[in-house]
Amino acid sequence: MATALPISQNRTRTASAAGKQLREIAIVSINPNDFIDLRSDTVTRPSAGMRAAMASAEVGDDVYGDDPTVNHLQAVLAERFGFDDALFFASGTQSNLAGLMAHCGRGDEYLVGQEAHTYSYEQGGAAVLGSIQPQPLENDADGGISIQRIAKAIKADDIHFARTKLLALENTIGGRVLPQDYQRQVTEFAHARGLLTHLDGARIYNAMVKLKIDEPTAVAGFDSVSVCLSKGLGAPAGSLLLGPREFIAQARRWRKALGGGMRQAGVLAAAGLYALEHHVPLLEQDHANAEFIAVELRAMGLLAQPPQTNIVYVNIPEGHAVNLKAHLQQRGILATVRPRTRLVTHLDLSRDKIETVLRAFRDYPHWNC
Ligand SMILES: Cc1ncc(COP(=O)(O)O)c(C=O)c1O
């Protein structure tokens, strides 16, 4: 259990945002392994078993297609998800971008949710590097984009307009699972209107575990999918792009242009294979932990939304975010505390650690100030 942690000599005193309360931000010197980290599910560290798998991986030069472990991982994922082919990338940002660039050319457009990672959190890479115009559309409360909104956004074939080529969705999105009925209807609609469909499935395994469905069902209707190994699955890096053979061949070209051709990448692929074999069933515990956090925070009077998977959103009363963040940090807890705070569970967070987090929320002395 993490208790108050050693505080170094470095302390800074600053006025609070409101200018009323003096707060003390302790710069704590803690071994990063001792933090209880709720910022993201990307923060997990490879377990001993995963490191052993990485150390013993057979490798080769993957730019030449010679790495047997990468080739095996690609074959396994393509087979499991029911696609012709797969391609290993260092990151989800890169696999999404190469996917968008393989689908769309210069002057084409993709329809995407305002809240989508490819639109909001990837520096506009599709536009910056791919010359692809994004058409952002409002996401509904459940994370989807209404078919009416999509229909209105598809541009006519007119010399003034970009060519609407692709619909990109995300699942899970902000921890929400897209309803299967919606997925079927929206992908059918997109295809009927001549659009291609791409899924950012960085957390598709969370959706599968939640809905108790298999891989092909989870991605039904999508022409391509990007799947991350370094989120809830706990690998240190890696994302796979899945799709038809020609599409993957084009994405392979873009991957090289984007500087994403890796050499002895089998050490990373081995971590991914280990994660697929050992970590998928653990996602259910992450979801249960998220649910537990939400229930307990609500019992403290905080407005915490019921999570669908491993991401909890909780409203922090006005004026408390900075002090609460410092309070948690002094107890070895890292969280991105904002008026709307996101807490993410993952395989490095045991129930004991969650209890420590909840105690720290309860002990926060200023709730009534
Ligand atoms: C939904 C989603 N897609 C894509 C990415 C990008 O993945 P990476 O950080 O590996 O580039 C993230 C990262 O957190 C994500 O949450």
Structure confidence at residue 69 (pLDDT) = 98
Q: What is the mean pLDDT of residues 347-365?
A: 96
Determine the distance separating the centroid of ligand 1 and the alpha carbon of 117, expressed in angstroms: 7
**Does residue 209 have a pLDDT over 90?**
yes
- Best residue among 121, 170, 198, 344 to mutate for probing ligand 1's pocket (most ligand atoms within 8 Å of CB) is 121
H or E element, residue 304: strand 303-304
Tell me which DSSP letter residue 33 carries.
Answer: G
Which atom, in ligand 1's list, is nearest to the CA of 116? 1
**How far is Cα 362 from Cα 366, in angstroms, rounded to an integer?**
10
Whether 315 and 358 have beta carbons less than 8 Å apart is answered as no
The answer to whether the CB of 228 is under 6 A from ligand 1 is yes
Of the candidate ranges 19-28, 118-127, 292-301, the one whose mean pLDDT is the lowest: 19-28
- pLDDT above 50 (res 7): no
| pLDDT for 367 | 74
Q: How many C-beta neighbours within 10 Å does residue 150 have?
A: 20
Is the pLDDT assigned to residue 19 strictly greater than 70?
no
> Does the pLDDT of residue 167 top 90, yes or no?
yes
Q: How far is CA 284 from CA 37, 49, 310, 354, in A?
A: 19, 20, 9, 15
Tell me if 226 CB under 6 Å of ligand 1.
no
CA of 200 to the centre of ligand 1 (A): 9
- The CB of 93 under 6 Å from ligand 1? The reply is yes
Confidence band (pLDDT; 50, 70, 90) for 16?
Answer: very low
CA distance 124 to 122: 5
- For ligand 1, the distance from its centroid to the CA atom of residue 94, given in whole angstroms, is 9
Instruction: Decide whether any atom of ligand 1 lies within 6 Å of the 174 Cβ.
Output: no
- In this structure, the residue with its CA closest to atom 8 of ligand 1 is 92
Question: Bigger pLDDT: 32 or 314?
Answer: 314
For residue 304, what are the β-bridge partners?
314
Closest ligand 1 atom to residue 96 Cα is 4
Pocket test for ligand 1, best of 42, 96, 117 (most atoms within 8 A of CB): 117
Rounded-to-integer distance, Cα 129 and Cα 106, Å = 10
Q: Which ligand 1 atom is the nearest neighbour of the CA of 230?
A: 10
Tell me the CA–centroid distance for residue 90 and ligand 1, in Å. 11
Check if 202 has its Cβ closer than 6 Å to any atom of ligand 1.
yes
Query: What CA–CA distance (Å, rounded) separates 38 from 286?
Result: 12
Q: Are 109 and 165 in contact (CB under 8 A)?
A: yes
Predicted pLDDT of residue 32: 67
For ligand 1, is residue 170 a contact (CB within 6 Å)? Answer: yes
Q: Is the pLDDT of residue 30 over 70?
A: no
β-strand partners of 343: 312
Q: Is the distance from CB of 177 to CB of 210 less than 8 angstroms? A: yes
